[in-house]
Structure 1
Amino acid sequence: MELRIRGEQAVLAGPGGEGAREVDPRRLAIGPDLALALHEWARVASAVTRSGPDAEGAAAVVSQRGRQLAARLAAVMGTQVRFVDPVTGVEVVVDPPPRPAQRPPRATSPEPTPWLTGLTVSAFTAALVVVAMLALATTIADETSSWLALIAALVVTGGVAPSLWLGRKVLIVRWAVYGAAVGLAASWVGVLATVF
């Protein structure tokens, strides 16, 4: 592909030299930002070449910007881009960046499940939840009424349930979540026995 300037517009041509068909960059799938940058560069390059040798500093900037845009164009299009620097007249060929090599996915062995430690944490958490729920229900039933103890147990269960549901797949926390869920379910036997 060749990057050219016609008038004050950037055009892209396929291989084939001067006889190749020229296309406006806005018609290609290179993105509006790159197409706009190419046209702006072409306008500035045309203005610098018309000003002659007085704009030596600007000529270096235009040359550098042209190489940058050619590199971006080569990366987006995935093909080699050739252009003649409008200021220096030097032909520049920019190759597309190399594509990263596709590596096959690594075969990783999953970590062993820590059953003994996990079940110990679950059992401790279940016992803690059972004791807490029964203490709550018994204290409220003795001090006020059994219906209020039932409502308090329902509120605690409803408040804890979303957190348990969200934590069920978190690697380390899941053991405590499993224990709390079992303890919550088991405590309802005692809560109902206390209330009724």
Structure 2
Amino acid sequence: MSGIQLRANGERAVLVGDDGAGGVDGAAVTEPGRLPLGTELTDALHEWAKVAAAVGRAEPGTAAGAVVSRRGLQLAGRVATALGVVVRYVDPLSGTESVVEPVRAPAPPPAPPRPPEPVPWLTGLTVSAASAVLVVVTVVTLAVTLAETYSLLALASNAVVTAGLLPSLWLIHRQPIWRWVAYGVAVGIGVAWLALPFVLF
């Protein structure tokens, strides 16, 4: 529907479309309740039509008539916005027609681009170094302890620790903060494997 006309038909508000035959003046008449206007707006339209009919019978040229006309124009604007079409408002008292455009919400402004965050090299490398030292000391100590019992236990302990840590390292290596821990742990595991021959022999 490219456009509609809002008018009062007796004590009922009607919307006359541009794309049908029959009805009023050769156009299709639609009850407001049959369109997605909401109960509150539909009731307001019919209430306006009743008041307009009463004012038209009693005193159409008074201040009450001006209030009815302004109210109808306001409701026409709400209908235009709700349906997204142009509404031609026909004043029930004077018969003049006004064109009401739908009010479109302004597009939200684009979000400003976020400046790239500086890489915390000093802090990150400190965390990585601490993580690497902790892993090396832990894994090598465990290997030395187990090698005193049976040398292959040290090899098995390194393999178990490595297999247990690798999935976690893969999950956190892209996180802004935890990636530094992942780098340190990975280096620590590598150094622990390099130290393993000195533990076994």
Residues 134 and 187 in structure 1, CA contact (< 8 A), matched pair in contact too: yes
Pairing partner for 1:166 from 168, 171, 195:
171
- 1 CA distance for matches of 2:162 and 2:113? 43
- Which amino acid is the alignment partner of residue 4 of structure 2? L
Deviations 1:145-194 (CA, angstroms, capped at 9, x unpaired): 33333233222212211221222222222222211111111111123443
Structure 1 unpaired stretches of 5+: 25-34, 54-62
CA 1:150–1:20 in 2, change beyond 3 Å: closer, same or farther?
farther
Residues 45 and 86 in structure 1, CA contact (< 8 A), matched pair in contact too: no
Residues 123 and 179 in structure 1, CA contact (< 8 A), matched pair in contact too: yes
Alignment of 1:62-101 (within 5 A): 68-74=78-84, 81-84=86-89, 93-100=100-107
> Are 2:4 and 1:3 equivalent residues in the alignment?
yes
With structure 1 as the length reference, what TM-score do the two structures score? 0.57
Deviations 1:93-138 (CA, angstroms, capped at 9, x unpaired): 2433243365585473x33322222222211111111011111222
CA 1:134–1:86 in 2, change beyond 3 Å: closer, same or farther?
farther
CA 1:44–1:183 in 2, change beyond 3 Å: closer, same or farther?
same
- Which amino acid is the alignment partner of residue 131 of structure 1? V
**1:190 — aligned with what?**
195
**2:36 — aligned with what?**
37
Pairing partner for 2:135 from 118, 129, 135:
129
Structure 2 unpaired stretches of 5+: 7-13, 55-71
The range that moved more, 124-133 or 169-178, is: 169-178
In the alignment of these two chains, the number of paired residues is 169
> Are 2:152 and 1:142 equivalent residues in the alignment?
no
Secondary structure of the residue that 1:3 maps to in structure 2? strand
- Which amino acid is the alignment partner of residue 186 of structure 1? V
Larger Rg: 2
**Percent identity over the alignment?**
35
Residues 76 and 100 in structure 2, CA contact (< 8 A), matched pair in contact too: no
- Over the residues paired in the alignment, what is the CA RMSD in angstroms? 4.7
